[in-house]
Structure 1
Amino acid sequence: MEASEEKYLLHRGLLLPRETHTADSLTFAHEFELRDDDILAVTYPKSGTTWMQEVLPLVLNGGDLTPVQTIPNWDRVPWLEETRLAIVAERLPTPRALVSHLPYHLMPKSLDSSKAKVIYVSRNPKDVMVSSYHFHKMASFLDDPGTFHEFMDKFLQGKVLFGKWTDHVKSWRHTELGDRILYLTYEEMVQDLRGSVRRVSDFLGRALDEEAMERIAAQCCFNNMKTNCMSNYSLVPQDIMDNSKSPFLRKGVTGDWRNHFSAEQEAQFSAVISREMEAEELSSSLWCPEPSPPAHQ
Structure 2
Amino acid sequence: MDSSLRPELFNFLGVPMIHYYTNNWDGVQNFQARQDDILLATYPRSGTTWTSYALDLLYFGQKSQERQETIPIYARVPHLEATLPVKQPGSTQALIKETETADKLLTSPRIMKTHLPVQFVPKSFWEQNCRIIYVGRNAKDTVVSYFHLDRMTKMHPEPGDWNTFLQRFMEGKMVFGSWYDHVNGWWKKMQTYSKLHYMFYEDLIEDTGQEIDKLCSFLGLSASTEEKESIRSKVQFSDMKNNSMVNHTTFKGLDFNKSSFIRKGKVGDWKNHFTVAQSEAFDEDYKQKMKDPTLQFRTKI
TM-score, length basis structure 1: 0.88
Q: Is residue 76–residue 92 contact of structure 1 (8 Å, CA) maintained in 2?
A: no
Q: Is residue 270–residue 288 contact of structure 1 (8 Å, CA) maintained in 2?
A: no
Matched, 1:232 2:247: yes
Instruction: State how far apart, in whole Å, the 1-side matches of 2:99 and 2:219 are.
Output: 22
2:207 is aligned to 192
Counterpart residue identity of residue 57, structure 1: D
Offset from partner CA, 1:87-115 (integer Å, 9 cap, x none): 34223311111111011111111122112
Instruction: State how far apart, in whole Å, the 2-side matches of 1:241 and 1:5 are.
Output: 12
Using the TM superposition, give the Cα deviation of residue 118 of structure 1 relative to its aligned residue in structure 2, in angstroms. 0.8
Matched, 1:121 2:135: yes
2:17 is aligned to 16
Counterpart residue identity of residue 76, structure 2: R
Q: Is residue 40–residue 132 contact of structure 2 (8 Å, CA) maintained in 1?
A: yes
Q: Is residue 31–residue 99 contact of structure 2 (8 Å, CA) maintained in 1?
A: no
Q: Is residue 40–residue 133 contact of structure 2 (8 Å, CA) maintained in 1?
A: yes
Instruction: State how far apart, in whole Å, the 1-side matches of 2:62 and 2:227 are.
Output: 5
TM-score, length basis structure 2: 0.87
What is the count of residue pairs matched by the alignment? 282
Q: What's the secondary structure of 1:182's corresponding residue?
A: strand
2:32 is aligned to 33
Find the partner of 1:173 among 187, 190, 199. 187
2:152 is aligned to 138
Counterpart residue identity of residue 72, structure 1: P
Q: Is residue 42–residue 115 contact of structure 2 (8 Å, CA) maintained in 1?
A: yes
Instruction: State how far apart, in whole Å, the 1-side matches of 2:257 and 2:61 are.
Output: 35
Structure 1, 75-84 or 149-158: larger mean CA deviation: 75-84
Q: What's the secondary structure of 2:112's corresponding residue?
A: strand
Instruction: State how far apart, in whole Å, the 2-side matches of 1:241 and 1:4 are.
Output: 14
Instruction: State how far apart, in whole Å, the 2-side matches of 1:163 and 1:274 are.
Output: 19
* Alignment map for 1:89-104 (pairs within 5 Å): 89-104=103-118
Shift in CA distance, 101/35, structure 1 to aligned 2, threshold 3 Å:
same
Shift in CA distance, 273/287, structure 1 to aligned 2, threshold 3 Å:
farther
Find the partner of 2:167 among 153, 160, 167. 153
Q: What's the secondary structure of 1:119's corresponding residue?
A: strand
* Alignment map for 1:79-94 (pairs within 5 Å): 79-82=79-82, 83-94=97-108
Instruction: State how far apart, in whole Å, the 1-side matches of 2:211 and 2:239 are.
Output: 17
Instruction: State how far apart, in whole Å, the 1-side matches of 2:27 and 2:165 are.
Output: 31
Counterpart residue identity of residue 127, structure 1: D
Matched, 1:51 2:56: no
Percentage identity across paired residues of the two chains: 33
Instruction: State how far apart, in whole Å, the 1-side matches of 2:232 and 2:285 are.
Output: 36
Matched, 1:274 2:275: no
- Alpha-carbon RMSD across the aligned residues, in angstroms, is 2.1
Find the partner of 1:213 among 209, 220, 228. 228
Counterpart residue identity of residue 260, structure 2: P
Structure 1, 115-124 or 133-142: larger mean CA deviation: 133-142
Instruction: State how far apart, in whole Å, the 2-side matches of 1:145 and 1:188 are.
Output: 29
Structure 1: tracts of 5 or more residues without a match: 291-297
Using the TM superposition, give the Cα deviation of residue 211 of structure 1 relative to its aligned residue in structure 2, in angstroms. 0.8
Counterpart residue identity of residue 234, structure 2: Q
Shift in CA distance, 62/134, structure 1 to aligned 2, threshold 3 Å:
closer
Q: What's the secondary structure of 1:23's corresponding residue?
A: coil
Structure 1, 112-121 or 170-179: larger mean CA deviation: 170-179
Q: What's the secondary structure of 1:261's corresponding residue?
A: coil
Counterpart residue identity of residue 227, structure 1: N
Q: Is residue 37–residue 116 contact of structure 1 (8 Å, CA) maintained in 2?
A: yes
